[in-house]
Structure 1
């Protein structure tokens, strides 16, 4: 992200940094990252269900918002509150959404136990995988040909998009629900966090290496309360964990996958639900039940901006400040 003093930060039409939050108040808000001004609001008045998850397309052109059972896809540069396309097919809350690296499709996971792939070029449902348990999170492998999901039954599954099968399954803590999964940007490391605040780490080996695909390397207690999100930084040097204990913890990662608590980010007054790193891993955005979002500077662990405007819990956020 640009330096706080940058004159560009004051330009409302500068789309180099896209920061978005979603809330139980049914509103999606776009923010000027450094001024803290809300530059655009999409109000889903009268619509059933809150905004659950947000994702920005790699080219910054689209915002996907998981709202109850539907996904609305908006143009980030348009002032319109009407979605470009709506994907409707899940029968329960959608809990996760992620874009393909070239923006060709997006994937969703839902409490209805299904994972769906939606074709953005034809605006149709492309494929459905039956996970057989409520899905809590889904991420796309950097190779774009595999998905990693986690669910309420305590399972982590790898889905092979070429063979259309679940090729691997992990159950690190029996039936304890896994809340969140995160893959390193090079696909070498997988981290998962569960309802009891425990984090599990696997080294991900190449399919042709002759080694197990997932090799358990460590586990640690990240929080003493409910863990809501775990997220590896783009440079894979840090892990951020969010929790019901109102804190965000930053863990440094050594070359041998040793996780050391480096900072505790304190400032939110209630549950912290979601987080997003800047492209250079120097900043972190968080969303909380205290109705606010915060921008944190990783080096100091301090809040550099607070975003006020939501009237209920802010439960999701998305940040894209990389090259489009």
Structure 2
């Protein structure tokens, strides 16, 4: 990150919506019982349970793949994924200082799992499938002590590690056809494995827990059963349940003080079962697969995370799920703010649209269309409908209060509908598709009518903006052209061309200029009347600028892109006034609310960030 970016005035971050529920055992409760710890993109988030205040641990360069917390809570460790041929970093964080304590670099491509020793002397790290090694680190010296291949050549790859609760020199690893107890020999800098004997049972172990007295190992398997192994002898002691196995496998286990088990399955089943014969005592069914279970305090409260990016709170007594957080589980493609009120906003991601309240970012409504992706959306100016562009070549119009489907236009574009906008009079929709065609639709009381197809673009339409009088519009395309269209006579008026793939275009509110952004990392100003370029600014140090929006008074605009930075610009000076540093993934879209109070940005890691916009509307 450039030094000038770090020294520039920072945007004030007000709230973050997001949680990577695909990370197994990624949701943790800190031993202070006051904070939830979980991954989101490249960041580890600390969220205060009492009031929801969030802090961010930034340091990873790619998505966080595993999280572990030491017994006292002094340290947090997190590992990441990276690209083939590159090394994946482990970071140990100093919890009190909220700062990096050590950066450990040895594994290739991915860090699969991490575990602290009980007295916080050592950290064991497990590499992913392309690495296959286990490494033990000395936390005080920040150096590797020793390492070994995680599993025998005849076995599959290792998936998890768990440290003993009483002995700094013993830990367990498990995975596909492998279950090993390791002993650390520090003077000789070696780790020696002992294979556990499961007889004829061949299992893929996904998660491991060790009883508090280190007597038994419990292993959750992809087959949906649980193995109980004697830690000292390495022999199978029990397995079950006898009758119904856990559907879609056991993803996560936790042992309560009484010895009973909390079990989370891939089918969303969250169960309390007995320590012997694994008899089910209590059960709850969640919508998505359970990937994390975190225990708070003396077994009275549990936090459960799912692969659908939901977080639930349970109490031991009633075992009922209270939804405390929900978010997108994949990249957010677009965000739109309801015009005028600035109280509601909508986001889209894969097969869903979600409606949120802007001040307390809670989900108000979810619209789901299975097996298709929503590429773009917008509110009609009157607020009576949400128009949306979908990958199955359809345009869908929904009622924002109920989510009712008001209109569907089938076969609107080939290769998907990729951009959409509505006119101010709410009578027409302009859409763009994957083949570069621009179409104008008239909305009728009981249907729709195609008015015209305009065919000058040669590639995907990425952005559409319509003038306030609803007579003209501008379309940006990946073909390196922006075209201004007359949407009354259906003719092109001007074309601007640059050596880029345009990602975003905006009219200045007075509509005499355009600003554009794209893969060339530049922000360009264009004259609407003759299509001439007026000014070019260096908008980003790295990566394309994917999102852009301009304030209602035209004095400021905002950009965001692959550099993960939100930038607020002075329109006339062409200078950055504020920078927002918090995103962990590429920024996909960005919007300023109509009263200049709030700025929203979304990213490829599923996060939605709400910032305080630093420039009030001019009188």
> What TM-score bracket applies, with the shorter chain setting the length?
0.7 to 0.9
Task: Quote the residue 1:193 is aligned against.
Answer: 476
Deviation at 1:237, TM superposition (A): 2.0
Deviation at 1:79, TM superposition (A): 4.6
Task: Quote the residue 1:166 is aligned against.
Answer: 450
Deviation at 1:226, TM superposition (A): 1.1
Instruction: Count the aligned residue pairs.
Output: 277
Unmatched tracts of structure 2, length 5 or more:
1-8, 22-307, 309-328, 598-619
Unmatched tracts of structure 1, length 5 or more:
1-33, 206-212
C-alpha distance in 2, partners of 1:289/1:41? 19
**Match for 1:214 among 475, 486, 490?**
490
- TM-score normalized by the length of structure 1: 0.81
Task: Quote the residue 1:36 is aligned against.
Answer: 11
Task: Quote the residue 1:297 is aligned against.
Answer: 570
More relative contact order, 1 or 2 (CA 8 Å, 6+ apart): 1
Listed one character per residue, the Cα deviations across residues 206-260 of structure 1 (whole Å, up to 9, x for unaligned) are xxxxxxx223222121x2021111222222122111110111111132xxx2223
Does the CA contact (< 8 Å) of 1:90 and 1:110 recur in 2? no
Aligned ranges 1:99-248 → 2 under 5 Å: 99-130=379-410, 131-133=412-414, 134-162=416-444, 163-173=447-457, 175-205=458-488, 213-221=489-497, 223-248=498-523
C-alpha distance in 2, partners of 1:90/1:240? 36
Q: What RMSD over aligned residues (CA atoms) do the two structures have, in Å?
A: 1.9
C-alpha distance in 2, partners of 1:284/1:247? 14
Greater Rg over alpha carbons, structure? 2
Q: Secondary structure at the match of 1:306?
A: strand
Does residue 56 of the first structure (1) align with residue 366 of the second (2)?
A: no
C-alpha distance in 1, partners of 2:370/2:385? 16
Deviation at 1:203, TM superposition (A): 2.5
Does the CA contact (< 8 Å) of 1:110 and 1:135 recur in 2? yes
Does the CA contact (< 8 Å) of 2:413 and 2:434 recur in 1? no
C-alpha distance in 2, partners of 1:227/1:79? 31
Does the CA contact (< 8 Å) of 1:90 and 1:112 recur in 2? no
Deviation at 1:64, TM superposition (A): 0.2
Deviation at 1:323, TM superposition (A): 8.3
Does residue 66 of the first structure (1) align with residue 348 of the second (2)?
A: yes
| Cα distance change, pair 176–243 in 1 and its aligned pair in 2 (3 A) | same
- TM-score normalized by the length of structure 2: 0.43
Aligned ranges 1:79-98 → 2 under 5 Å: 79-80=361-362, 83-89=363-369, 91-98=371-378
C-alpha distance in 1, partners of 2:361/2:366? 17
**Match for 1:271 among 524, 544, 548?**
544
C-alpha distance in 2, partners of 1:132/1:187? 22
Deviation at 1:150, TM superposition (A): 0.5
Greater shift in the superposed pair: 144-153 or 262-271: 262-271
**Match for 1:258 among 511, 530, 550?**
530
Does residue 282 of the first structure (1) align with residue 555 of the second (2)?
A: yes
Deviation at 1:121, TM superposition (A): 2.9
